[in-house]
Amino acid sequence: MAGASAQTLAAVKQRGTLNCGVSQGFAGFSSPDSRGEYRGLDVDYCKAVAAAVLGDATKVRFVPLTAQARFTALQTGEIDVLFRNSTQTFLRDASLGLNQGPVNFYDGQGFAIRRDANVTKVQELDGATICVAQGTTHELNLNDVFRARNIKFSPVVFERVDTMYEAFYAGRCDAMTQDASALAGALTGARDPAAYRVLEETISKEPLGPFTRNGDDQWSNIVMWTHYALVEAEELGVTAANAEAQAAGANPTIQRLLGTGGEFGSRLGLDNRWALAAIRAVGNYGEVFERNVGQGSSLKLRRGLNGLWTGGGLMYAIPFR
């Protein structure tokens, strides 16, 4: 693992392709469309990193992974970076030999139920059968929170989320638990989406973001600063459509971001226009959000905590200085 950790950038450049770990199918985050092409917020992050490193957002090999296999795939070098609805936690940071990148989506664990169920809050799930994915924080949170609140339940555990969805729709469980955003996406794929709803109450904080291997600060920095570039671009009004024109402008802050001022790229081992390449490929953070999970998508999620800090959200880029 040490060898894989220290040479990620060189390996990606030599290979000419970024191996990016994604889910096996979370609507809005990473799932294949009717043509088999992956779409979603996490997918766009894979493309942004590929554009920054290789100058081409299409140079990505998407590796679909189960919740149980995702971290092993990164540890062994099967993938270069993990963008897979993965919650950042103390133990994952301290015990897996992995590095947690910046949060690119703030979420919380929710519950999906049938619309006709007489349930309005989590406490009313007492005695329920609940579908949950194995090897996730959701499984741990479910046990901890329900025990603390003295809520009795029967878990039905699944290795694959698609199997969990099918079981829930077939009536094997009274409720299904996952990140609230993932539940919203899952219900759009139900035969009758109107027959289900997601409870407003959540039981956890789920800060989602990328993972890289420990021991490779350069690569972890590339992943981190690619995220911050997308967030900074939104705050500065730089979009996929106007990025090239903005790069030619006189604003020194934008010049530093887009590589027409300063020499930031060389500090990462990249071309100086790395951030410009990423933004031209997928747009700024707001564009990525709205297209995949926001008002331009079937999920119609509000920005909420994922809005910019200037609008009451938590998205905030470290200064490019």
Average confidence (pLDDT) over 251-275: 97
67 has a pLDDT exceeding 90:
no
Write out pLDDT tens, residues 25-46.
899 999 999 999 999 999 999 9
Predicted local confidence at residue 6, as pLDDT: 58
1 has a pLDDT exceeding 50:
no
150 has a pLDDT exceeding 70:
yes
Angle, helices 285-292/217-236, rounded to nearest 10 degrees: 80
Asked if 2-105+207-311 and 109-204 have one fold, the answer is yes
Write out pLDDT tens, residues 202-230.
999 999 999 999 999 999 999 999 999 99
Predicted local confidence at residue 5, as pLDDT: 52
Q: pLDDT grade, residue 238 (50/70/90)? A: very high
Domain definitions of the chain by residue range:
2-105+207-311, 109-204
Predicted local confidence at residue 4, as pLDDT: 55
Residues near 241 by beta carbon (within 8 Å), at least 6 away in sequence: none
Name the class of domain 109-204. Answer: alpha beta
Q: Is the dihedral of CA 161, 166, 172, 178 positive or negative?
A: positive
2-105+207-311 has CATH 1.20.58.100 classification: no
Q: If you average pLDDT over every residue of the chain, what do you get?
A: 96
Average confidence (pLDDT) over 278-306: 97
190 has a pLDDT exceeding 90:
yes
Write out pLDDT tens, residues 68-124.
999 999 999 999 999 999 999 999 999 999 999 999 999 999 999 999 999 999 999
3 has a pLDDT exceeding 90:
no
Predicted local confidence at residue 94, as pLDDT: 96
49 has a pLDDT exceeding 90:
yes
2 has a pLDDT exceeding 50:
no
